[in-house]
Amino acid sequence: MTGRARSETQLDAVKEIDPGEETARRVRGSPRRRTVDDSPSWGMALGVSGVLKILVLAALFSWIYHEHYFRLYVMWKNPDWSHGFVIPLFVLYLVNLRRRELVTGDHPGSVWGLVLVLFSLAVFVLGIRFRIGYPQSLSMVAVIAGVVLALRGWRTLKLTLFPIGFLLLAIPPPDRLYRSITQPLQQGAATIASLILEMFPGAEIEQKGINIAYFMRSGEEGSFTVAGACSGMRSLMAFVALGLATAYFTPRPTWHRVAMAVLVVPVALFCNVLRVIITGGFQMYKYGDLASGTPHTVLGLLMFAMGFGIYLGILWILDHLYVEDRGNRAAGST
């Protein structure tokens, strides 16, 4: 028997034995072997020239937008936007998850990237000319997308589009737009909470804007305000970031991800309103010490965990909307 024939015979024998060994391994509960990531590291893929290009581009980008770095730093010190410090790091993590696809294959650049960069810089200059800050900040994200498209092409842009777009969550909108979002959120949470609290035993509720006054049959009375921390931009942005990240990390059809993105805001509003109701109930029934300080913070974390649980429940429902009829499939295959 030749060496080649002997190798083929041994390979066939391995193929015949492997299923049994795999079954035995699963019965024994032995851990699976980890998949070895044989893709080149960032340093190997980029090389010295690639690293230098990135450093030069980063330096040029920082020179153009250095004032906005300080502006964003000041805004991120606001508790409503403190998540801005974490988002760039999270974006780098998302990009690293795609390292294998980004460092392998062909990634030819596109001239449309240069067009996008020039257009974004034009928006930046016009924003300075007319003293409009928000478009200037948005142009930062557009320039990053344009540079990626110009140097690495459409395939790389597609792979990094979600991480790049995620940076938008770190850019605070103009004050007028900010108030137009937060005030209706607080007002809506106060209105719904008042309707629910009115159903509590022995309670009479009177709402004035975001202030809720209560009068109990026992003679207890008081009021509380629906704070922005309970129903405003801070909690909304946290839930939006959680929902979008959950949709991104779970491999599933595109329409599932779109559904998750659409349902982010309703889930956030539900959890926020529930937090207001629980806080109001504590105050109405003489447990005001649970409505502030550390217990109030813990309640916020519990609502955040509840939101995550709701997202997982939605994912489970989406996974079970279509149930394969195995009996019909088996009958059709005979």
What is the separation, in whole angstroms, between the first and last Cα of the chain? 41
**pLDDT(272) > 90:** no
Mean pLDDT of the chain: 80
Neighbouring C-alpha atoms within 13 Å toward the C-beta of 37: 12
Asked which of 36-40, 91-95, 312-316 is least confident by mean pLDDT, the reply is 36-40
Answer for the pair 128, 136: CB distance below 8 angstroms, yes or no.
yes
Query: Which pLDDT value is given to residue 19?
Result: 42
Residue 27 C-alpha from the chain's centroid: 38
Please identify which residue in the block is written with the tokens 């140097």: 151
Q: How confident is the model at residue 231 (pLDDT cuts 50, 70, 90)?
A: low
d(CA 55, CA 94): 20
Q: What is the pLDDT of residues 100-113, one digit of tens each?
A: 999 888 899 999 99
d(CA 53, CA 47): 10
Exposed (0-12), middle (13-18) or buried (19+): which is 298, by Cβ within 10 Å? exposed
Angle at which helix 133-166 crosses helix 233-249, to 10 degrees, equals 30
Sign of dihedral through CA atoms 230, 233, 236, 239? negative
Query: Which pLDDT value is given to residue 233?
Result: 60
* Both structure tokens of 128: 């300075």
pTM of the model: 0.73
d(CA 10, CA 14): 6
Three-state DSSP state, 112: helix
Three-state DSSP state, 225: strand
Closest CA to 220 of 206, 202, 232: 202
Q: What is the pLDDT of residues 276-319, one digit of tens each?
A: 899 888 888 888 787 777 887 788 778 888 888 888 888 888 88
* Both structure tokens of 86: 């974490």
**pLDDT(34) > 80:** no
d(CA 92, CA 42): 12
